[in-house]
Amino acid sequence: MRIRAGVSICAVLLLGAGCGTPGAPQPPSLNLATPVVDLKAVRTANRVTLTWTIPTETTDGAKFRHRGQTKICRVMDQPSVGSCFPIGVLDTPANGKAASFATDLPSSASPPSGYATYAVQVDNSNGRNAGLSNQIQVPTANVSELNGSPIIRLSPDAILVTANITPRGTTIEQVLELRRKEKGTPAPEAVAARRVLDVPDMGEPANIELRDDTFTWEKTYEYRVAIVASLKVPNGQTFIFDAADSASQDLVAQDVFPPAVPTGVQAVFSGQIPGQEAAIDITWNPNADRDLAGYFVYRRRQNEPAEDAVRLNTQPITAPAYHDGGVEAGNTYLYAISAIDERGNQSKRSEEASELVPK
């Protein structure tokens, strides 16, 4: 009876918990990092910067612990990297999540269709790996040059930037781009552009002017210009890069420019109808200044000097017309108009228009 009871208890344990039966033995981890899958490349002038995420797991799902070196691989004018002959080697950090490597393209001239293919290979501490990363193709063609620093100047209606470039690469699409960043903001934006291939004399230095007419007065901006090139590489992708990039220059958009002087001033007597008070109506052409605040009207009698003209309105008027009911019969009056903007810059006075108030 005791034996049978013991057998029954073991049977229950076997059914419920396996009764301690071991599973199949697992092989030890090879500690091979999973290959990098997000390698990216940015080209600025002749410098290429590669970035990628450092693997955290091995090919068998374990944590990648015993890190070795990361090799930077490159081949020229070949569609893929076969065996890695490294152009650089980095120690793979133990705790880092991202890595980068910068290198210059070969200094020798490259044809318009030339390119470099990059990959990275992450080794463990024994120098073993699970293969190359995804591969990136970067064009190596020589493109237009930016000569010196651009000249930036402020005008009444735009910020003008003049860059001197030497255009090259007639088969390569290139754009001269003006970039603006307001002080305190994180990233610049493109505010103007012009195709480099529109320059008439390829290979000869030329000045190209770009206009920023979307700025706001009294703000501080950083400006820079870049030659942006785009080429299709053999894998079918279009690679866009900054072929040249100037240093940034600060500019304070301080408005010191008065509006245009009003034109077309006319003065016409009104009051011919019996019982109507004598008056003179003055009109002029409206100004097109985008920051116009309004107009001031000046009046003097014919026998008074110009400097004695009296301003008739204390606040700017926005319409290009004024009704002057403070005139007296028998006098000839002369009127001039000035324009004022939102920051208080006032134009010179217009040419005068005269009108006689009949007796």
CA 211 – CA 223 distance, rounded (Å): 12
Decide if pLDDT at 314 tops 80.
yes
| Helix H or strand E encompassing 160 | strand 159-166
Decide if pLDDT at 22 tops 70.
no
40-59 confidence digits (pLDDT tens): 999 998 999 999 999 999 99
154-189 confidence digits (pLDDT tens): 998 899 999 999 988 878 899 999 999 998 888 999
The structural domains of the chain, with segments of one domain joined by +, span 40-139, 145-252, 266-356
Residue 277 has what pLDDT?
86
Q: Where are the alpha helices (DSSP H) in 93-154?
A: none
Q: Which fold would CATH assign to domain 145-252?
A: Immunoglobulin-like (2.60.40)
CA 357 – CA 279 distance, rounded (Å): 8
Please provide the average confidence, as pLDDT, over all residues in the chain.
89
Residue 108 has what pLDDT?
74
Look at the pTM and tell me if it is higher than 0.85: no
Q: Which fold would CATH assign to domain 40-139?
A: Immunoglobulin-like (2.60.40)
Task: Find the angle CA(42)-CA(205)-CA(208) to the nearest 5 degrees.
Answer: 75
Number of neighbouring beta carbons within 10 Å of residue 76 = 13
Residue 15 has what pLDDT?
42
Comparing 198 with 69, which gets the higher pLDDT? Answer: 69
Residue 5 has what pLDDT?
43
Going by C-alpha positions, the residue among 143, 136, 102 that lies closest to residue 237 is 136
145-252: same fold as 40-139? yes
Q: How confident is the model at residue 4 (pLDDT cuts 50, 70, 90)?
A: very low
Q: Which fold would CATH assign to domain 266-356?
A: Immunoglobulin-like (2.60.40)
